[in-house]
Structure 1
Amino acid sequence: MPAYQNPFKKPCFLDAKTRFKKLERALKGIDRVLLSDFEIKQERAVPTIESVIHFQKLYRPKTLYLVIGADCLRHLSSWTNAEELLKRVELVVFERIGYEEIQFKGHYHPLKGIDAPISSSAIRASLGV
């Protein structure tokens, strides 16, 4: 689910609707993947807890997994209603090479063994944005 605007970053050089269309094309034909424009339709930065509550009401899953990068885990305590968020989801953390292990007092499932030596920050830097 693409964000309308990440509250921790500068606005993206592509507008939200364009990013959504690009994701739609990239994910076309991939089974078991649902792309949502929930946050884009809000036309504002949406706290993750708000999206989680929305999808819990909509789908009523037994378990909802939130996958984030290890770099995000470092700042998770500053997210809106972080404690409530952690009560509502099973946290899965995508460990990134080059990031030191983060001390986190909560429980999470580490996602290891994926070597993706690129980040969105590196892509933005290479494009000069």
Structure 2
Amino acid sequence: MDTIALFGGSFDPPHIGHEAIVKALSEFKDIDKVIVVPTFLNPFKSQFYAPASLRVKWLKEIFSDYNNVEVSEYEVLQEKKVPTIQTVKHLLKSYKKIYLVIGADNLASLHEWNRYNELRDLVTFIVVPRDGIEISQEFLRLNIDEKVSSTKLREEIEISKLPKKCAKEIYNFYTE
């Protein structure tokens, strides 16, 4: 197992769009394993809603039936904001090639990521379309048709947009 897809994010809450991305990645012939890495706190955010330990629990439950998916607690265990470059360098100790999965909404600020030029040299980006944002040919594209956002779900939670495995628990957390 030499090649992984690193799919990081807040997952606050995890939703069917995240699940669809992991499912599509796990069927990608060049990827041996998908590693889902929830943040302790996103480097571009000042707070989280669900505690990191709860988001990890949900993700482990959601992806428990996937053979080639691992939920990593690496960033959560740091108990601080962790730049993607740090996680990539940590994973490169165990894997030869990393595909880094991001949403197209991150493209405009990608140059602001910590040590972006170094990161760009270490990974191959896979970009998931969002909000009609154009994706340059320099990036691989992963077409997913789920139009759902964690931010919008926190504003108006819809149980149908949550992964079935723990939908009720997630729903209850964000409505209490």
| 8 Å Cα contact 1:4-1:40 kept in structure 2 | yes
In structure 1, the residue corresponding to 2:156 is in which secondary structure? helix
Q: 1:5 touches 1:11 (CA, 8 Å); kept in 2?
A: yes
2:105–2:133 contact (8 Å) kept in structure 1: no
Distance 1:27 1:60 in 2: 21
Q: Does residue 111 of the first structure (1) align with residue 142 of the second (2)?
A: yes
Gaps of 5+ in 2: 1-36, 158-173
Q: Which residue of 2 aligns with 1:94?
A: 128
Does residue 121 of the first structure (1) align with residue 156 of the second (2)? no
Percent of residue pairs bearing the same amino acid type: 36
Q: Matched residues in 2 for 1:29 and 1:6: separation? A: 27
Match status 1:75 vs 2:104: no
Q: Name the TM-score, length of structure 2 as normaliser.
A: 0.65
Counterpart CA distance in 1 for 2:133 and 2:63 is 31
- Paired residue secondary structure (2:102): strand
Once the two structures are superposed, residues 88-127 of structure 1 have per-residue CA deviations (whole angstroms, 9 ceiling, x without a partner) of: 000000012x33315x5x8210112x21111112112225
- Equivalenced residue count is 123
Larger strand fraction of residues: 2
Separation of aligned partners in 2, 1:101 and 1:87: 22
Aligned to 2:4: none
CA–CA distance in 2 between the matches of 1:47 and 1:100? 24
Is the 1:71–1:99 Cα contact (8 Å) retained in structure 2?
no
Superposition TM-score, scaled by structure 1 size: 0.87
Q: Does 1:53 align with 2:89?
A: yes
Question: RMSD of aligned C-alpha atoms?
Answer: 1.9
The C-alpha deviation readout for 1:26-53, integer Å capped at 9, x for no partner, is 1112110011000001000000000000
CA contact (8 A) 2:38 2:76 kept: yes
Separation in structure 1 between the aligned mates of residue 56 and residue 40 of structure 2, nearest angstrom:
10
The gaps in structure 1 that reach 5 residues or longer are none
1:36 and 2:66 aligned:
no
